[in-house]
Amino acid sequence: MRRFIIDTDTASDDAVALVMALTYPDVTIEAITVVCGNMPLEQGVQNALYTVELCGKQVPVYPGAVAPLLRPLEAAHDYHGQDGLGDIGLPLSGRVPAERHAVDVLRETIRRYPSEITLVALGPLTNLALALTLEPELASLVRECIVMGGSVSGGNVTPVAEYNAWVDPEAAKIVFASGMPIKLVDWQLSSRYGMLTPEEEGQLQAQGTSLATFCVDIQRVAREVSQKNLQRGIVLADPLTMAIALEPETATETGRFFVDVATDSLTRGQTIVDIGNVLQREPNVEVVLTASHERFVQLLHRAVR
């Protein structure tokens, strides 16, 4: 049995990733820790609680950082809707999260299960950066940390930066430099292997279950934005990341590179991935280079069955 902690700024693709993990057989989710990002903290917490309830599970949800380390939060309502789950009228309020601080739960759970915890980070890395700053030795106690974030080349918020790394670039910098074993699922990879076309969405919905309906319906705003931008489908970055966390073979090729994060104005949040080893620095991140789209879609289907 594997132990996961999922750190998430729960919006529409995080929710699908949560469904995948919550329904997966041999994985115990020790905690869902929420961080501000796509959604303000409070909304992300409610969305995570709703998703857990919908899956009929008891996993505790802990609220974490309410703001990036050094910058004001810039949420992504435009892409995920006001409530983060597509504004389709779900009852996303009133649930009560667990009492402890997400960062404390991260610290304690990692210490309780040394070398056992798989961290899946689906939002800005603020919670993880805080835990690692408080206790740098946690880096060596984590089994693996699979991060959705950054971009080997190109971005989605600026020409060079992906959202999670851009919202809290200092946190990303801290996490990448921490020495923790990190596997990176970047924006470029997600766009290529984690995109769901309208046909594929249709096939998913055709499963007819409440989870299938949920997973498809909450993409409403994201789908509209993607169509307006003439994209072939919606990018499910967090679900692809979860697929790789659940079944590592979903990543078909990886490489170890030195990765750092720019924090200055024009290039804020850009992940510098030294593929050509120009800097001749010790590699610190295993970057997923190719993935299996088929496997990803299979995992999606199995999750909502």
* One-letter amino acid of 207: Q
Do residues 7 and 119 make contact, with C-beta atoms less than 8 angstroms apart? yes
**Of 22 and 172, which has the nearer Cβ to a second copy?**
172
Among 3, 275, 289, 301, binds a second copy (CB under 8 A): 275
- Site membership for a second copy, residue 262 (CB under 8 A): yes
**44's tokens:** 């992300």
Q: Is 133 in the site for a second copy (CB under 8 A)?
A: yes
* Residue placing its CB nearer to a second copy in the complex, 86 or 155: 155
Q: Does 40 bind a second copy (CB under 8 A)?
A: no
Residue 275 touches which of Ca ion, a second copy, none (CB < 5 to 8 A by kind)? a second copy
User: Does 159 interact with a second copy (rule: CB under 8 A)?
Assistant: yes
State the Cα–Cα distance between residues 76 and 47, nearest whole angstrom.
14
3 state SS of 172: helix
Residue-level length of the chain: 305
Options 139, 260, 291, 293; binder of a second copy; rule CB under 8 A: 260
Of residues 35, 39, 49, 34, the one with CA closest to residue 12: 39
Cα angle vertex 174, ends 131, 126, to 5°? Answer: 50
Contacts for 252 with CB less than 8 Å, ≥ 6 apart = 290, 291, 292
Among Ca ion, a second copy, none, partner that 254 touches (CB below 5 to 8 angstroms by kind):
none
Is 1 a binding residue for a second copy by CB under 8 A? The answer is no
* Contacting residue, 28, 53, 66, 115, with a second copy by CB under 8 A: 66
Query: Nearer to Ca ion by C-beta: 9 or 170?
Result: 9
Nearer to a second copy, 15 or 169 (CB): 169
Q: By three-state DSSP, how is residue 17 classified?
A: helix
Instruction: Name the residue nearer to Ca ion (CB basis): 80 or 173.
Output: 80
Distances (CA, A) of 228 to 120, 197, 287: 31, 14, 30
Question: Rounded to whole angstroms, how far apart are CA atoms 173 and 177?
Answer: 6
> Residue 256 belongs to what H/E stretch?
strand 251-257
Asked if residue 130 binds a second copy (CB under 8 A), the reply is: yes
Residue 114, binding choice from Ca ion, a second copy, none, Cβ under 5 to 8 Å by partner class: none
Tokens found for residue 53: 């309830």
One residue of 33, 270, 284, 292 binding a second copy per CB under 8 A? 270
| Identity of the residue, 141 or 275, whose beta carbon is nearer to a second copy in the bound complex | 275
83 vs 238, beta carbon nearer Ca ion? 238
**CB-based contact 146:120 (threshold 8 Å):** yes
For residue 188, the surrounding DSSP H or E stretch is helix 187-193
Binding site for a second copy (CB under 8 A): 65-67, 69-70, 101, 103-104, 130, 133-136, 153-160, 170, 173-174, 258, 260, 262-267, 270, 272-276, 278-279
